[in-house]
Amino acid sequence: MSTHTLAGLVDVLTIKRTELVGVASAIVQAVFSSPERGPDDPMPTGGSDESEPAEWWQAYGLTSRPPMGSQALVGRFGATIAAFASRAKDAIAVFGKMAVGDVALYTIAGNVLRLNADRSVSLLVPCDNGKQTIVQVHPKDSAVRILTAGGLTFEMSDKNGIAMNAGAKDVTIAGKNIQFIGTAMNCNVVTNKLNATAGAPLVSGPITKPNPGILI
């Protein structure tokens, strides 16, 4: 198919609005601002500043409603008009954060899900304080890391085990039965408060005989 023929089938139009249509509201329909046309153009606008609605065709597993002002590729096939690709200038900052081979799902709000070429996966969520909450899965050390916009961190990795830093915030662990199992437990705190309802008093240090009523 020649370039001349393609130019007659595909237009770059600006999205004016999108709508959900159909019985189950499962079809995205786009309405575009009408481009200026020549007097011999066979597709008259009828005096309206809007184009004829186009059904939005998208890849399986992905659906979106592009924001107003986005550009879209619109194909004309006889009486059928279909939009099949778009780009939003408001989200252009996403592209500057990507390396060669990366894939991203993004929104104009700044949410980004990146499938990176180095096999890592990152989720970036902008927060009200101007910073981001970041969730990362990295194959190098089988790590899952979370960094909140306020600076709290959590890591679970084959290299460092499980590590958590709440800074000046409280850490609360609650449940019916809480078990700490290990060869040693180090507790370095300024104040240690332990409230228990054991049937026998608390003791410290080793004991020679197990006693289910004593907490060590």
Kind plus residue range of the DSSP H or E element containing 132? strand 132-138
Instruction: Write the DSSP symbol of residue 131.
Output: -
**pLDDT at position 125:** 94
Q: How many CB atoms neighbour CB 19 within 10 A?
A: 13
Tell me which residues of the chain have a pLDDT lower than 50. 1-4, 36, 38-40, 42-45, 213-216
Architecture of the domain made up of 3-87: Beta Barrel (2.40)
**pLDDT at position 100:** 93
**pLDDT at position 2:** 42
Residue 142 has phi, psi (to 5 degrees) of 50, 50
On whether the pTM is more than 0.85, the answer is: no
- For 165-179, the pLDDT digits (tens) are 999 999 999 988 888
